[in-house]
């Protein structure tokens, strides 16, 4: 039975020029850049440090070593992306990356060195050693530490933790702000800004097995879709080949750098197998390595394979992978002496809110950066360690675009609707949200996961459509709102996967393995018709070539 939410009274909203939703690498980089031009409010659900960025282990890819240059990094990224990267976006990533990293170092970032020089590591699908790391396997943590410290010193930046963004506010076809829920008080506020920047991260929690933290529920993608923005390539979900597999513990990422340093994959019989799937063996690209592991698990009727680093030596392992070593030890696995049980897990959304090379979306006044965005740099298969660099480069780019937009739109926007007016009715509670969340995650893992077919996707969509009707009401609690967002994002993933009737990169259709399809080099795009929030509003999936030229 629907109940009235007690927290609908108005709260006092801070006056700011720019609203940044999300506090990971992309959000912090954007906030710092924006603070040079106006006042900024950074919104985060939960604690300000609960971002995916802080868990990133492997490192950040950048062409700074003597053996490397941006042209090689450019070529490696395009090759990994299987023809679906946007070249101009990749060029921006690799050419501006070195400057952003040097800036981060100037702010105090401490990347690992050997003999006074940066210790560049190599990971799968990289033709050069270009991975900078910090404290062995805590690169994301170090980058967030430095960015947060620098941002905290900027007097124009304000912070609101434990504030969940419910929806974007669109007036006259322009994004003017957001409806925000105070998770502690239960009050809802409309925040107004000259421009809104999404940096909310990915949607890994849509899957039963994921390396993502619990807050990665696709909020930014769902909000953007409801507001009328275009989503692109939602079917392209990257599955990391190696996450810790234990029946009683959540998946824990085992960095690709472990294979880059010489780690080997063995099946349940102890046999090396990657040489049968790719000439680079254990250093094969992520999509190939993940499917190879899946195939070995099926062939041997096991739930995992093994990652073996025992031959690398105890001292090296403890120094190079201290976080992984200590975490596995808590589960009674000594990786210096034992093989590690691993299997693939959902890891990274390569699709998301469509942006151009500046970070501008199809909705005026709305910018996006980081994993929530589809900037075109990752294509069909993200090159390892490019994501942290993307957060830095496109965090700064999207901020500059937000400033430019605000400069062109300085006229009075008029008062925004109240939260109560935007809710469209009494706030409700979702019956057994935890059960629906769990069922959704199992469905996505089983039918829209690493291996897909038309039958599995059609079956999943039928169930997702039923759930979406259930979740279409206005909810008052964060847990219910997250499930609503997960259902909508999951349906987008399944719809796009059904549309793409061929295999490319991370998208693997077992019923379309080798057929050449005209859409192979095209991008799937979706937009909710009428820019309404009702669950029955149709989405329009179409190749990018048919979309170009229309008004954005």
CB 14 within 8 A of CB 158: yes
Separation between Cα atoms, residue 339 and residue 283, nearest integer Å? 18
> Where does 331-385 have alpha helices with state H?
none
Q: How far is CA 389 from CA 59, 62, 98, in A?
A: 9, 7, 9
Left (φ > 0), alpha (ψ -120 to 50) or beta: where does 141 sit? alpha
Separation between Cα atoms, residue 69 and residue 98, nearest integer Å? 10
Q: Residue 363: phi, psi to the nearest 5?
A: -100, 115
CB 117 within 8 A of CB 406: no
CB 75 within 8 A of CB 94: no
Nearest to 254 by CA among 301, 297, 296, 317: 317
Dump strand ranges (E) for 117-173.
117-118, 131-132, 157-160, 163-171
Element (H, E) at 347: strand 340-349
Report the catalytic residues: 286
Q: 454-470 and 478-499 helices cross at what angle (nearest 10)?
A: 150
Q: What are the CB-based long-range contacts (under 8 Å, 24+) for 66-70?
A: 67/128, 67/129, 68/120, 68/128, 68/129, 68/130, 70/94, 70/95, 70/97, 70/98
Nearest to 354 by CA among 346, 366, 344: 366
Bridge partners, residue 177, by sequence: 169, 192
Strand, helix or coil for residue 510: coil
Separation between Cα atoms, residue 280 and residue 80, nearest integer Å? 13
DSSP 518: G
Element (H, E) at 403: helix 386-408
Strand, helix or coil for residue 149: helix
Separation between Cα atoms, residue 521 and residue 512, nearest integer Å? 15
């Amino acid at each position: 039975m629907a109940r009235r939410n007690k927290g609908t009274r108005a709260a006092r909203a801070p006056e700011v020029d720019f609203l940044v939703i999300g506090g990971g690498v992309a959000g912090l980089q954007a906030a710092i850049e924006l603070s040079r031009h106006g006042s900024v409010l950074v919104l985060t659900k939960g604690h300000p440090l609960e971002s995916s960025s802080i868990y990133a282990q492997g490192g950040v890819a950048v062409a700074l070593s003597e053996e490397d240059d941006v042209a090689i990094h450019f070529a490696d990224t395009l090759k990994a992306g299987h023809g679906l990267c946007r070249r101009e976006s990749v060029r921006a990533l690799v050419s501006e990356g070195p400057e952003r990293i040097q800036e981060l170092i100037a702010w105090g970032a401490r990347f690992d060195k050997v003999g006074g020089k940066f210790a560049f590591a190599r990971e799968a699908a990289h033709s050069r050693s270009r991975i900078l790391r910090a404290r062995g396997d805590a690169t994301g943590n170090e980058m967030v530490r430095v960015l947060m410290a620098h941002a905290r010193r900027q007097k124009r930046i304000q912070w609101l933790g434990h504030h969940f963004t419910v929806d974007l506010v669109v007036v006259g076809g322009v994004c003017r702000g957001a409806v925000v829920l105070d998770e502690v008080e239960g009050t809802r506020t409309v925040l107004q800004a000259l421009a809104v920047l999404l940096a909310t991260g990915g949607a890994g929690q849509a899957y039963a097995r994921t390396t993502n933290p619990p807050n990665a529920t696709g909020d930014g993608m769902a909000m953007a879709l409801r507001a009328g923005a275009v989503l692109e390539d939602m079917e392209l979900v990257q599955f990391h080949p190696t996450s810790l597999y234990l029946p009683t513990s959540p998946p824990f990422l085992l960095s690709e750098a472990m294979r880059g340093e010489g780690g080997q994959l063995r099946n349940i019989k102890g046999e090396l197998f990657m040489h049968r799937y790719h000439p680079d063996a254990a250093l094969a690209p992520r999509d190939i390595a993940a499917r190879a592991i899946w195939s070995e698990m099926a062939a041997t009727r096991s739930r995992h394979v093994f990652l073996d680093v025992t031959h690398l030596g105890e001292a090296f392992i403890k120094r190079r992978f201290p976080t992984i070593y200590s975490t596995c030890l808590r589960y009674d696995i000594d990786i210096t002496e034992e093989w590690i049980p691993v299997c693939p897990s959902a890891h990274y959304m390569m699709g998301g809110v469509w942006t151009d090379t500046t970070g501008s979306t199809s909705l005026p006044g709305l910018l996006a950066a980081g994993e929530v965005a589809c900037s075109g740099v990752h294509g069909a298969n993200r090159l390892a360690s490019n994501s942290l660099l993307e957060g830095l480069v496109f965090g700064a780019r999207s901020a500059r675009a937000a400033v430019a937009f605000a400069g062109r739109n300085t006229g009075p926007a008029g008062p925004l609707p109240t939260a109560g007016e935007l809710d469209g009715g009494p706030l409700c509670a979702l019956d057994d949200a935890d059960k629906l969340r769990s069922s959704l995650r199992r469905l996505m893992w089983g039918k829209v996961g690493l291996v897909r077919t038309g039958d599995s996707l059609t079956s999943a969509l039928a169930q997702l459509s039923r759930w979406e009707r259930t979740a279409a009401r206005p909810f008052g609690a964060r847990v219910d709102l997250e499930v609503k967002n997960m259902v909508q994002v999951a349906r987008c993933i399944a719809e796009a996967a059904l549309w793409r009737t061929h295999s490319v990169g991370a998208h693997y259709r077992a019923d379309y393995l080798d057929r050449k399809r005209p859409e192979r080099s095209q991008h799937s795009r979706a937009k909710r018709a009428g820019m309404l929030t009702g669950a029955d509003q149709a989405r329009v999936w179409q190749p990018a070539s048919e979309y170009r030229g229309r008004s954005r």
